[in-house]
Amino acid sequence: MKVCITGSGLSSLALANALAKDGIYVDIFFLKQKQDKSRTISISKSNVDYFCKHIVDIKKILWKIKSIKIFSENLPDENLLSFENENEQLFSIVENYKLYEILIKKLDQTKYVKKIKKKIDYNIQNEYDLIINTDYSNILTKKFFNKKIKKKYNSFAYTSVIKHKKISNIIARQVFTKKGPLAFLPISPYKTSIVYSINQSKKLSQDTLLSLLNNYNDYYKIDQVEEFKLFNLMSMDLRNYYFKNILAFGELIHRIHPLAGQGFNMTIRDIKELTNIIKSKIELGLDLDVSVNKEFEKNTKSKNYIFSNGIDLIHEFFNLESKFNNDFLSKSVKLFGKSSFINKSLIQFADNGRLL
């Protein structure tokens, strides 16, 4: 049985390591990428546990978050929502480039993965029993996976890292400003990642971004702000997850708004589902063929669609409030957030993608 993965991102590297951990030989078509050091990933507690056990131990590069506080510019002096866990983390933050490096290093140490440093061609369809495609720009994607449900937000996400005076820094904060959600995501006692999703298509200057950051920062005594990087915001759900023996995977099948930090968490849950299907096939002596793809789509497509639309609903909810410049919605959220059941349900939803 010949399996390959196409793509050089975190999704492909994590999946390759997961398959190798299960003793499955895999080729990965891989061209090394330069990593943006301003980007971070949020990983829920249950996904951290799974990642460390079934993919690679990443405990040394994680920064644990034990509290989340959410604010609205329409209620500047009040805490809109709070989620806390005094005994263990709610989730963890990891810098993209550090995760990338540890995944590459692990692949170099295993005999189960062969890295092929070249672009693919159409012949790949006949060379492998199962092809897992995570690359959104290759020929397979362009030919077989171009039917999508897309939503363009006509806005940008700006990312940076601030260096500041040393603090315990275990609280993640999100401020729903009139321009969009601004997240402060701790990554060490003296460094915090910034993600500001601004609802306008015109690019902002570095000076303007610094001014906005200073306006909403009441938490850190900043020594330095790294240059802001930006990327277009959109949400996307692929209509069909597979074509014959080719399975689309990772951000190729779903992309969501970054306000809740759930994009990579969705991919980790997909990795868990796919590896379970593959292991079950092997244990039963069955071939790894299109049946793997059919089962994966059946088990994940509707769940991913519901989850991604749930994130979009949160975005539209607060976006609506900023348009009307009214605090009614924020006050309603604060009222509902006082319910312990709703609070626990939201924590459960963020942790494993399911409500209580």
Contact 37, 16 (CB under 8 A): no
Tokens of residue 117, six digits: 């440093």
Contact 5, 134 (CB under 8 A): yes
What does the pLDDT look like over 76-88, one tens digit per residue?
Answer: 667 777 777 666 7
Res. 335: pLDDT tops 70: no
Tokens of residue 186, six digits: 């701790």
Distance CA 278, CA 264 (A): 21
Tokens of residue 176, six digits: 């729903």
Mean pLDDT of the chain: 88
Distance CA 191, CA 267 (A): 26
What does the pLDDT look like over 3-55, one tens digit per residue?
Answer: 999 999 999 999 999 999 999 999 999 887 787 888 999 999 999 999 999 99
Helix 263-283 to helix 290-324 angle (10° resolution) is 170
Helix (H) / strand (E) containing 152 = strand 148-164
Tokens of residue 268, six digits: 């980790």
The values of phi and psi at residue 245, to 5°, are -90, 10
Distance CA 177, CA 216 (A): 8
Indicate the pairing of strand 67-72 with strand 81-84. Answer: antiparallel
